[in-house]
C-alpha cells in the first residue's frame, strides 16, 4: 500500500469527514492519468526521493535568498471514494486562504484544460518575508476513478519579471495525460 499524500488541513478535514483517502500516484507507475509541468530555464527538478509524496518538485536556485528558494510543487492523487467536484474544489480553495496574513490577488473557478479547477493567487507573510503563491487544484475524472491534482508555485512577493514569467509558464504548462494503461489492481 502506498502512503497517502500529505494534504493541507482544511482539505484533509473535509476528506477525513467523508472517509476519503487521497492516495499518491507515483509518476513512474502506469495506470493513472499523468500530469506534467514544464521546466523553465533556471529551474531544476528535485529528485523524487527528496519529496516522496510529491509528483514533481522544481526549484529556481539562482533566485535563492536568505536560505529560501522559489519552488513549484505538484501533487497528484487518486481519491479512494467519489466526492462532488464543487465540494472538493471549495475545500481545496480554502487552503491558501489559511496562510498567515494572506492577501488574495486573484481567484478563478473556470475550467482548465477541460478539467474542473480552482486557482488562487495571493501574497502571505512568514516572519519578515513576503511570498507570492499561486495554487491550482484540478479534479480529473478518468475511467471509474477521480483524481485531485494540486500545483503550487511560490516565489518571493514581487519577483523580477523573469521569475514571474517562469512561474506563469509552469502554471500555464500544466498538462494532464489521460492515456491510462491498465493497473495491476483493476
The pLDDT tens digits of the residues spanning 126-178 come to: 999 999 999 999 999 988 899 999 999 999 998 899 999 999 999 999 999 88
For residue 82, pLDDT beyond 80? yes
Q: Is the pTM of this model over 0.85?
A: yes
Judge contact between 55 and 76, C-beta under 8 A: yes
Q: At what angle do helices 9-17 and 85-97 cross, to 10 degrees?
A: 150
Task: Identify the three-state secondary structure at position 88.
Answer: helix
> What is the arithmetic mean of pLDDT over 91-107?
86
pLDDT digits (tens, 9 = 90+) for 42-69: 999 999 999 988 999 999 999 999 999 9
Residue 107's CB is within 10 A of a number of other CB atoms, namely 13
Cα–Cα dist 124/166, whole Å: 20
Domain boundaries 9-177, CATH class: alpha beta
Q: What is the pLDDT of residue 4?
A: 37
**Which has the closest alpha carbon to 35: 163, 128, 170?**
170
Amino acid at each position: 500500500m502506498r502512503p497517502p499524500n500529505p494534504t493541507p488541513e482544511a482539505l484533509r478535514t473535509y476528506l477525513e469527514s467523508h472517509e476519503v483517502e487521497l492516495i499518491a500516484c507515483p509518476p513512474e507507475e502506469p495506470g493513472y492519468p499523468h500530469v506534467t509541468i514544464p521546466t523553465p530555464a533556471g529551474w531544476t527538478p528535485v529528485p523524487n526521493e527528496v519529496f516522496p509524496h510529491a509528483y514533481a518538485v522544481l526549484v529556481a536556485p539562482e533566485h535563492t535568498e536568505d536560505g529560501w528558494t522559489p519552488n513549484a510543487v505538484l501533487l497528484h492523487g487518486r481519491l479512494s471514494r467519489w466526492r462532488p467536484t464543487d465540494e472538493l474544489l471549495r475545500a481545496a480553495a480554502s487552503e491558501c486562504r489559511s496562510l498567515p496574513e494572506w492577501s488574495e490577488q486573484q481567484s478563478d473557478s473556470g475550467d482548465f484544460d477541460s478539467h474542473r479547477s480552482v486557482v488562487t493567487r495571493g501574497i502571505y507573510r512568514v516572519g519578515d518575508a513576503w511570498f507570492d503563491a499561486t495554487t491550482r487544484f484540478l479534479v480529473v475524472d478518468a475511467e471509474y476513478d477521480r483524481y485531485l491534482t494540486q500545483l503550487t508555485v511560490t516565489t518571493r512577493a514581487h519577483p523580477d519579471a523573469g521569475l514571474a514569467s517562469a512561474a506563469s509558464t509552469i502554471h500555464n504548462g500544466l498538462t494532464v495525460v489521460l492515456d491510462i494503461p491498465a493497473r495491476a489492481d483493476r
